[in-house]
Structures are given as C-alpha cells and as structure tokens.
Amino acid sequence: MEEHIWFLVEKFISGEASGAEQRELQQLLAVYPELYVSVKEFLSTYKDPEPQITQAQVNHFLTEVDYLIADATPVKNHLYKTKKIPYNTVTAWPAPTRTQNLINKLQSELTMAGHFFKIAIRNLQRNRAISLINIVGLAVGIASAIVILIWVQNQVSYDQFHQNKDRVVRLYNRAKVDGEMQAWRVTPIPLGPTLKANYPQVEDFARLNWIGAFVLKNGDKKLETAGYATDPGFFKIFSFPLIEGNAGQALSGVHNIVLTQKLAKKLFGNANAMGKIVKVDSTANFTVTGVLQDLPNNTMLNFEYLVPWSYMKEVGWDNNEWKNHSVDTYALLKPGVTLAAADKAFKNIYKQHNGEQNEEVFVHPMAKWWLYSNSENGQLVAGHIVIVRLFMIIAAFIMIIACINYMNLGTARSTRRAKEVGIRKVSGAGKEWLIKQFLGESVLIAFVSGAIGLALVWLSLPWFNSVIGKELVIPYTKSHFLVNRHWFHFIYRHYIG
C-alpha cells in the first residue's frame, strides 16, 4: 500500500492525478497517518523546476487530508477503546482478498505503464535532437541489417524447397588435366540411364540439355527463350509445382511441352494454355501438357519451358558416346543411401564403359550446389558461402555499431536525468519501478526505430533488387524469418561445425 500511495503522490505532483485519484490518496493518507507525516513533509519542501501544480493546490490538498483525519479520529478512538477492531485497523477499509490484491496489482501495473509511456514521450519531446539521432541511427542500422539478412536468407535457401532435397545429387567428373586435378559437372549423355539400369542405389535420374535457340510461335506471337530437354524423372527429382497438368504424364510424349506460367501468358494471354498447340522453330507442333508455377528466385535452374528427351532422339541430338560430355545429370538416391556409398559405387563407372583410367565420377548433394561450387584440386569447395559469411559479419557489425551509438547517447543523457531519479526516489519510487520506467523508454525507442527501419527496407528494396537482379520481398507472412531453426542450423554448419 505504501508504494501505491507514493505512486499517487507522484501523479499528484506531476499534475496527472484525476479527481478520483486525489480523493483516493486523501482517504489513504487519513487511514495511514504515519505515512501522511512523510508525505506532508515532502509536499511542503518539494520544489519542482517545472511545477505542474501550484502551492495553493498543495495547501488545499493537505488541508482536506487534515479535515479527514480530524473527522475520523473520534470514531477510531471509540472503536479502539471498545476493542471492536484491533489497533491500526479501520472498518471502512477491510482486508482485501487475494483476488482483489491481484486486480489491484494489475490495475497498478497498467496505470504505471501508461504513466511511463507519457513520461517517455515527454522525454523524447524534451530532448528532440538526441532522440532523433538515437531513433534514426538505430532505424538505419536495423534497416541495413534486415536488407542484408533478406539477401542472405535467399542465398542459403537455394533449392532447399525441393521435397527430396536430401536425396538429390548432381554428378561431377574428376580427372587430372594438364597435371592438375580438376572437377566439372558436364557429363556424357548415357550416364543417367546407365545409373538407373545398373546401380541399385539410384531411384531415378534426369538429364538437362540447355536449349537457347528455339523459337516458340502461337499465331502471330513469336518468342525466343531458354528451356531444357529433360527426362520424365525431372518432376520426381525437382518439386516445381504444376498449376495444370499431370507431373507423371507431362513429358511422356515426344511432342509434349511444359510451359511456365509467365511464358504461357506471353503466348496465350489469359486463355487456358492446356492442350493448345505451340509451333517450335516452325517445324514441329508441340501440345501444352502442363503449366508450371513461375520459378522462385532461389533456384539455380533457369528455364521457361521443358520438352521431353525423346524429342532429342527425333532430331538426332541424342547419342551414346561416353567421351562426349554435354549434359547435366541429376540422380535421386534411394532412401538410406549415403553420399559416401554413392561415391564409392559410381567412382569407376567410366573405366567400365569407355576405358578411361584417370577419370572418375562423384556426387554433389543439393544442399551444397549453390554455396559450395568452386573447384579446387579436384574438390568442390566454398564458393558463394564466402560472400554470404562476409555479409552476415557486415550485418552483425552494423547492428553492433548502431547499438553502441544508442548506448553512448543514452549514457550521455543519463547525467541529465540523475536529478529526476533522485526526485523519484525521494517521492517513494522503488528500484523496480525505476528499472521498469527506463526499460520502457528503451523498448519504446527500439519499437519506433524498428517500425521506421521496416519502412526504410520497404522503400529501399526496389533499388536493391535492381542492383542484384532479383525480386526480394519482406517476408511478412514469415515473421520468424530473422530467428528460426534454419538460421541456427546454418550458423552451426557453416561457422561452428
């Protein structure tokens, strides 16, 4: 109760106490005369450099309390003498129940929170220059860090959305060239079918042959764009969703074609593309058997259409030459097959089919395609991960500098507020309330800075996207993107482990 009384005293001298709160304070002081002596002495001697109440108001307040004490004294003395109530107890103020205590405490906390908010706003207004530097500095730091982390999150998520990502590998070659061990990913055309036919470790495969010269035509519309010739296993290995069509049948026919949503709109407008005819190079008519959702910005594959590998055979582009390295080969390993077991099984496949003694095959897991793609002495080592680590360190330094700047300004301002703290302590404010007040101000500044920081991110992302050539967005629907298990896994894997 003592803390509550001093809280009401503080509101009274700040000019924020309502009429009901003033009456409550007067009644409490009449009930607790020993506290009234301290409060009366404080109010009589307190000098505020910026007074919110007049001395006349203080005198009137104290006079009212004196009247209440004078009126209550005879009644209390009679009750004490007749022993109807114990000493220091007043029947008008029965002992509160536990529920009432909880309610009173909650009301007190909410009232103090509102009071702290008002004080924080006043302090920000009173120190506009320092507050502006504080908020803007922290906001710019937060915005810079968020932009960098959005880019980093895009980099570390490359091709991590595929359902079978843990079992998908890309086949690489390793051999000594001009006295130096080298690794490269372009493989012979028959490698994929041989792996599926002769190696029990492989569930399915897909070859990708880049096609950049096809001209697709629909009526008067002609488009030259990039695509792949691939095997039916493509949709089993990669989880690119089909908006229309059957993934198992989309590439089964020689003249089937799968378009991305963007390409379908370019060729057919808003009309349904399924079953429509697309003329390729003015020689062959292809039937649209599937429409793919547009590719995300975090995949290494870049295409707008897919045609079946059987068309490669029709035009004479398919061959069984083991020494002709011309396509990318991907494999889906069976569950339980480790990378080490696959490497051991595939290592000498060239010796068995073309007599190559120095050339061998090894697998590269999907999780490392984007981040670990540089060849060094026949091994695939850190590539993009070096840049990603660098930018993560830069983001951390930006936030550290912004926080140090914030703390320095707060420390410089604390000397001015020493007098305020002293007055509050004299007014009866405990250590807990002072801590809550200053933490509340810090949280308010951080919240405002965060909101401004997000606004700056929203304004700067279009420019940033034009620089990096991607369409990054703020993941509003994934509020946990800054702190989630993928970040901890990434940090452990690439920094600690």
120 assigned to some structural domain: no
Together in a domain, 349 and 230: yes
Residue 22 pLDDT: 83
375 assigned to some structural domain: no
DSSP string, 205-254: EEEEEEE---EEEETTEEEE--EEEE-TTHHHHS-PPEEEE-TTTTT-ST
Residue 263 pLDDT: 93
Which helix (H) or strand (E) element contains residue 145?
Answer: helix 128-156
471 assigned to some structural domain: yes
User: Which one of 317, 338, 369 terminates a domain?
Assistant: 369
461 assigned to some structural domain: yes
Contact 266, 223 (CB under 8 A): yes
Please list the ranges in the chain whose pLDDT falls under 50.
74-93, 479-480, 484-485, 487-488, 492, 496-497
**Tokens 């229309």 — which residue?**
244
Domain that holds residue 235: 168-369
Together in a domain, 176 and 320: yes
DSSP string, 438-474: HHHHHHHHHHHHHHHHHHHHHHHHHHHHHHHTS----
Together in a domain, 282 and 324: yes
174 assigned to some structural domain: yes
Together in a domain, 283 and 355: yes
Residue 415 pLDDT: 65
Task: Quote the CA–CA distance of 189 and 192 in Å, as a whole number.
Answer: 7
Together in a domain, 212 and 328: yes
Together in a domain, 365 and 393: no
The strand pairing partners of 186, in sequence order, are 328
Together in a domain, 294 and 414: no
Contact 204, 236 (CB under 8 A): yes
3-state SS class at 175 = strand
Together in a domain, 394 and 315: no
> For the CA atoms of 228, 229, 233, 239, what is the dihedral angle to 10 degrees?
10
Together in a domain, 484 and 348: no
> How many domains does the chain divide into?
3
The strand pairing partners of 174, in sequence order, are 183, 360
Together in a domain, 357 and 213: yes
Contact 277, 319 (CB under 8 A): no
User: Which one of 342, 369, 396 terminates a domain?
Assistant: 369
Enter the pTM of the model.
0.70
101 assigned to some structural domain: no
Together in a domain, 152 and 175: no
Residue 309 pLDDT: 93
Q: Buried b vs exposed e over 322-350: b needs ≥16 C-beta within 10 Å?
A: beebebbbbbbbeeebeeeebeebbeebb
Together in a domain, 344 and 279: yes
102 assigned to some structural domain: no
3-state SS class at 87 = coil
474 assigned to some structural domain: yes
